[in-house]
Amino acid sequence: MSKVHHVAVLVGSLRKGSINRKLALALAELAPASLKLEIVEIGELPLYNEDIDHDRPPEAYTTFRTALKAADALLFVTPEYNRSVPAPLKNAIDVGSRPYGQSAFSGKPGAVLTASPGAIGGFGANQHLRQSMVFLDVPMMQQPEAYLGGAGSFFEEAGMLGDGIKPFLQKFIDAYAKWVEKQVNS
């Protein structure tokens, strides 16, 4: 029996009813048995400040870093704000990557899915996040790319994932499972 890989999911939107949070939960349901996806909350992280991160870092920093370090892999599901990642996600990346030389991200296989009601589906945030992950030594899945435009139509009135997007999400999460397996076993 193959190992179950624990995936830390970072959702860039803080709204409980956000499209991206719903997509992250849908991916968790569609994930093959080899993956266990768990959202690691980022909304309570104080803004990163090196001055408070020395002898006694805030408990929220420690809890967040511990959750990342315990994960085998990373999955980012985020909207785009101003052609980049939302501020809470950027802050989470800063917190998780510090103190210098102790990044909780390093070496963990990752992937990113961006979704937006707009036409370009968060392309700018997707690419900007990938750039940060290169620096943080996170090997990112290249294909399939996931910039999902028109995301407001993905869910039915009752909140259920619509059939139109489900095949793509299944393809994405299956490819990600293979990516994680390949990276963890290499």
Residues 6+ apart with CB under 8 A from 79: 12, 13, 18, 19, 20, 86, 114, 115, 116, 122, 125
What is the CATH code of the structural domain delimited by 5-184? Answer: 3.40.50.360
**Residue 137: both structure tokens together:** 């030594």
* Strand-pair category, 73-78 with 5-11: parallel
Query: What pLDDT is stored for residue 1 in this prediction?
Result: 46
- Mean local confidence (pLDDT), 121-141: 95
**Residue 42: both structure tokens together:** 């980022």
DSSP for 20-64 reads HHHHHHHHHHHS-TTEEEEE---TTPPPP-GGGSSSS--HHHHHH
| Percentage of residues of the chain with pLDDT beyond 70 | 99
Distance of CA 9 to the CA centre of its chain: 4
Instruction: Kindly report the pTM of this predicted structure.
Output: 0.96
Dump pLDDT digits (tens) for 132-168.
Answer: 999 999 999 999 999 999 998 998 887 888 899 999 9
Residue 54 has pLDDT above 70, yes or no: yes
Q: What is the residue extent of each domain of the chain?
A: 5-184
Query: What pLDDT is stored for residue 90 in this prediction?
Result: 98
Q: How confident is the model at residue 170 (pLDDT cuts 50, 70, 90)?
A: very high
